[in-house]
Structure formats: C-alpha cells, structure tokens
Amino acid sequence: MDDRAGLVLEDDLRLHVAALRYFKPAPPFATAFAAATGVALPSRLTAARVSLPGAAAAGPLIFAWMRPTQTLALAQGAAALEELGARLAQAAGGQVVTLTGGLRILRLRGARVAELIGRLGSAGAPRLNEAKRVRLADVPVLTLSVCEGEVLLAVERAYARHLLEWLEVTLGDW
C-alpha cells in the first residue's frame, strides 16, 4: 500500500477474477445469470457489487461490463466465483472463464484519483457504478468504481508492472 498526496495505491490485491462470456446479453444466458445472481447482466459501461442470493458466506461479487459479450467478475475469495460457476454451468449461450492468473487488479483511493487517472492519459475516472475501458500509460485498462472514492484498475498481468511503474513515477512527482 502506498499513501502519497492524498492517494492510496494498493497493488497487492488478492482478488479472484473470471470473465462471463456469452454470444449476446439476452436469453438464454442473461436469464440464467439473473436467476443465479438476482440482478441483470451489467449494461454498457456499468459495474455493481452483488451478493449471490443464498450464498452470503461466499462474499460479494463485483460485476463490470467489459464489452458487449463479456462481463468481468471479481471476488475476494474463490468460493464466490466457484458458486457462480456452478450456478451457470448448465446455462446455454455462455460460460464462466477463470482469469485469476491473467489479470491483475489495482486499487486507487483518495480525493485526487481522477486527477491521477487524467495524468496517465484517460479522459477521466469512472463515476460510481461505472466501468469503462481506457488507455492508461499507453496500456489498455478497465477502470471501474463500485465504492465512493475508489477506482479499481483491471490490467492484463503482462502489462501490470509497466502500469505500476508509471503510477509510482507519477505519484513521485506529487
């Protein structure tokens, strides 16, 4: 954890990651998702924190729109994603794909998050319950916010070190 200039960067998050991939955000997969989670698939540029009905012990999940046929799912523990996978195992038209080793999730908190994201090349930080794909430090990143004053950055593991170094240098300038 790093705390400078009213910003906190957490780069050691141990979040479990999966992608929900589907042919289209409509039945039959969208119906199965709604039955499994109690909510609809995220619409364009949205994100939400959700607890699975009847599985509170598994912990909350974060769902974020990635593209028209893909939703990102994040969880503190593997149990929540395993439960989601089990609930959607027989759903036609889509699947749950584990990405825990392929994506790295970073967390930014503080009053100057939007300014920092702007300095790294984006037009702005996501608003609460928003997810958007941007380029930060010339790297594709999914930015999302489900808690006030906090932004999660989902970056391919291969680019994570590059993004972290840009963040460190930019924070060092403050």
CATH number for the domain that contains residue 120 = 3.30.1360.120
21 and 59 belong to one structural domain = yes
108 and 144 belong to one structural domain = yes
pLDDT given at position 124: 84
Q: Which of 69, 98, 127 is the last residue of a domain?
A: 98
Q: Is the pLDDT of residue 12 over 90?
A: no
Q: Is the pLDDT of residue 43 over 80?
A: yes
Confidence band for 14, pLDDT divided at 50, 70 and 90: confident
* pTM score above 0.85: yes
80 and 144 belong to one structural domain = no
146 and 161 belong to one structural domain = yes
Question: What average pLDDT does range 93-108 have in this prediction?
Answer: 93
Distance CA 37, CA 146 (A): 17
111 and 156 belong to one structural domain = yes
Confidence band for 1, pLDDT divided at 50, 70 and 90: very low
131 and 150 belong to one structural domain = yes
pLDDT given at position 56: 72
How many structural domains are present in the chain?
2
20 and 74 belong to one structural domain = yes
pLDDT given at position 5: 67
CATH of the domain at 28: 3.30.70.1400
Q: Which of 81, 98, 115 is the last residue of a domain?
A: 98
139 and 87 belong to one structural domain = no
**Per-residue pLDDT tens for 109-160?**
999 999 999 888 887 899 999 999 999 999 999 999 999 999 999 999 999 9
The closest alpha carbon to 97, from 76, 69, 133, belongs to 69
Distance CA 50, CA 173 (A): 37
92 and 128 belong to one structural domain = no
Q: Which of 67, 98, 129 is the last residue of a domain?
A: 98
Q: Whole domain around residue 149: which residue ranges?
A: 2-13+102-172
**Per-residue pLDDT tens for 47-89?**
999 998 887 777 899 999 999 999 999 999 899 999 999 999 9
